Structure 1
Amino acid sequence: MTIPKNPGNLQDLFNPEAERRIYNTLAMLGYLMRLISPGTTWPSRVRQIIEECADVDPVAMGFPANWLDLSL
C-alpha cells in the first residue's frame, strides 16, 4: 500500500474555519480509515452517532453546513 504524499481530496474535507475543533480530526481519521481499510463502516457510524444524538451541535464541533454532503 502506498500512502499519498499530497492527498488533495483530504484537503477538500477540512473546514479552515474550525481550527481546534473535532470535525477536522474526524475528517482526517475517516480518510485514513478508508485508505487503510476500504470497506470500513467507521465514517458512516460516526455520521450516524452525530445525527442521532440530539444534544450534539455539529456547528459547535466545527462541522461545515454541508457536512452531510461530504464524505467524513
Structure 2
Amino acid sequence: MLNMLSALIGLVTLILMIPAVFPLLGALNWLLVPMALLGAFVGMFSARNGGRNFCLIVAGFGALRLFLGGGIL
C-alpha cells in the first residue's frame, strides 16, 4: 500500500514538473523536489522499492533542472 502511495506522489510530482521545464517557471522545482523526496521517504517503509525509486528519479530530474537553471530559472 505504501509503495502505491509513493508511486502516486511521484506521479503527481512528475505531472506538476511539466510546467517547471519552461523558462522562468523553474523555481517551482524548489517545492516539487522536496515533495518527491517525501514520496521516497514514504516508499522506504514499503516492502517493495519501485515507488521509492520512481520518486528518487523524479527528484533527480527536478534537481538537475534546478542546477541547469542556476536555482532560479
TM-score interval, normalised by the smaller of the two chains = 0.3 to 0.5
Scaled by the length of structure 1, the TM-score of the pair is: 0.39
The structure with the largest helix share of the pair is: 2
